[in-house]
Amino acid sequence: MPATNSSPSAAAPLSSIDRSIGWSLRREQNQIHSFLSPPDDATDAFQRRAAELLTNLFAPLADDVLSLAWTRRLLDAFLLCLEEFHTLLFGSGISPATRPPLDRLAADIFDRTVKALDLCNAVRDGLDLVRQWRKHLAIAAAVLASSSSSASSSSPPLGEAQIRRARKALTDLTILMLEDRDGGASSASATAPSVPVLERVLAWSAARQLQAIGEACPCPARRTTPPREASPRQSHTMGAVLFIVAFALVAAIPCQDRGLHVHFSVPRNLPCSGPITTLYERILDESKKKERKNSCGLLKEIHQIELSSRHLMEITDAAEFPLHEDKDTQVREAAQDLVQLCETIKEGLDPLEREVRQMFHRIVRTRTEILDCLSKPHGTQ
């Protein structure tokens, strides 16, 4: 048999051909795969955008957190994140949500959005409670401020009938807030449904809905995620944003069984983990304050209702008539504070309710499209 030529000069051309073929195959595979997954820059941009939107919530003064205006900004950030997430899933070509493992992650998002829809309804009911409280506050403000607005140095002091009417409105307000402190059980029973229906209503828990939203699959580590399969990180980012928004809403607005001791941890390798953790801890710290432990909600305006009504009740307690000039001035100033607070609540409630309604409809749309994708065979459009 002839000897095989194994010299380096003969092997070099063959090895170079093998390398060129391998590079060509890998390049073609990458080109094909790029049509099936969102580009890395789009994935990274979405995660950075989510982190930026949440970080911007801390830009104004710290006292603005959990106010009506701040809560609207929080919902604006959520709607922007959801819209960009929707674009990544359904924006072009074959939807990534139809391919494993993204189909499982999309199904997970689908399940958690059911809980979010329930919370949206509960939050809208809570906003109705705040609107009822404002009516009683407005009665007290109108009784006292009607004289205050036209008061002059020669005008008579506030009369006993005015003080009694204002105190009656504030007493009714206090009773309502005490009844709703347990999470709206009184408002649920006010409609007097049948016993089985009432039991189901009272068994509903905002805390359990939050826990269900927060329970998610572990986020894949960056080093184990293939370069073109970063989409699972998008789903986990959207899930984390959904949780913190729902958590803030339940904390701020009166809801049934709004326990905030919900276990939640966001993977540190997500860009939005920093602002989410900061907001989560900030809300927990606020709930632990002595004056907020028994509050109906952590909304800034709810706290102002409690403080203003309590202050006016204290300064009019055991008042002697006619009121002394200093006492009369003090009551009139407190009445003006009530007027301003009523205006702030009136201007903030309706826009916030519209935002919550928009959040509800956007989630419904996303759920519908995810369901359509999951019902199709893999690879179909």
The DSSP secondary structure of 199-248, one letter per residue, reads: HHHHH--HHHHHHHHH--PPPPPGGGS-TT--HHHHHHHHHHHHHHHHHH
- 3-state SS, residue 162: helix
Nearest Cα to 279, choosing from 237, 241, 236?
241
Average pLDDT over residues 234-259: 91
Note the pLDDT of residue 301. 97
Note the pLDDT of residue 67. 96
Task: Give CA 94 to chain center in angstroms.
Answer: 31
Q: Classify residue 3 by its DSSP letter.
A: P
pLDDT band at 198 (very low <50, low <70, confident <90, very high): very low
Rounded to 10°, the helix 231-252/40-55 angle is: 20
Task: Kindly state whether residue 218 falls inside one of the protein's structural domains.
Answer: yes
Task: Kindly state whether residue 2 falls inside one of the protein's structural domains.
Answer: no
Task: Kindly state whether residue 147 falls inside one of the protein's structural domains.
Answer: yes
* Total count of domains within the chain: 1
pLDDT one-digit tens code per residue, 328-341 = 999 999 999 999 99
User: Residue 151: which residues within 8 A CB-CB, separation 6 or more?
Assistant: 332
Task: Kindly state whether residue 18 falls inside one of the protein's structural domains.
Answer: no
Nearest Cα to 363, choosing from 271, 241, 275?
241
Task: Kindly state whether residue 60 falls inside one of the protein's structural domains.
Answer: no
Task: Kindly state whether residue 171 falls inside one of the protein's structural domains.
Answer: yes
The total of other beta-carbon atoms located within 10 Å of residue 29's CB is 10
pLDDT one-digit tens code per residue, 11-22 = 444 444 444 434
Task: Kindly state whether residue 49 falls inside one of the protein's structural domains.
Answer: no
Place of tokens 């359509």: 372
pLDDT band at 229 (very low <50, low <70, confident <90, very high): very low
Cα atoms found within 13 Å of the Cα of residue 366, Cβ hemisphere only: 31
| Domain span at 183 | 75-374
Task: Kindly state whether residue 153 falls inside one of the protein's structural domains.
Answer: yes
Mean pLDDT score across all residues of the chain: 79
Cα atoms found within 13 Å of the Cα of residue 63, Cβ hemisphere only: 3
Note the pLDDT of residue 110. 74
DSSP per-residue string spanning 272-336: THHHHHHHHHHHHHHHTSGGGTT-S---HHHHHHHHHHHHHHHHTTT--SSPPHHHHHHHHHHHH
Cα atoms found within 13 Å of the Cα of residue 255, Cβ hemisphere only: 28
Angstrom distances, CA of residue 6 to CA of 10, 11, 20, 21: 7, 7, 21, 22
What pTM value is reported for the model? 0.80
Question: In whole angstroms, what is the distance from residue 322 CA to residue 203 CA?
Answer: 52
Nearest Cα to 239, choosing from 208, 262, 267?
267
Q: Which residue has the higher pLDDT, 368 or 130?
A: 130
Note the pLDDT of residue 31. 38
Lowest-pLDDT range of 42-51, 92-101, 221-230, 312-321: 221-230
Is the pLDDT reported for residue 300 higher than 60? yes
- Greatest extent of the chain over all pairs of C-alpha atoms, in Å: 130
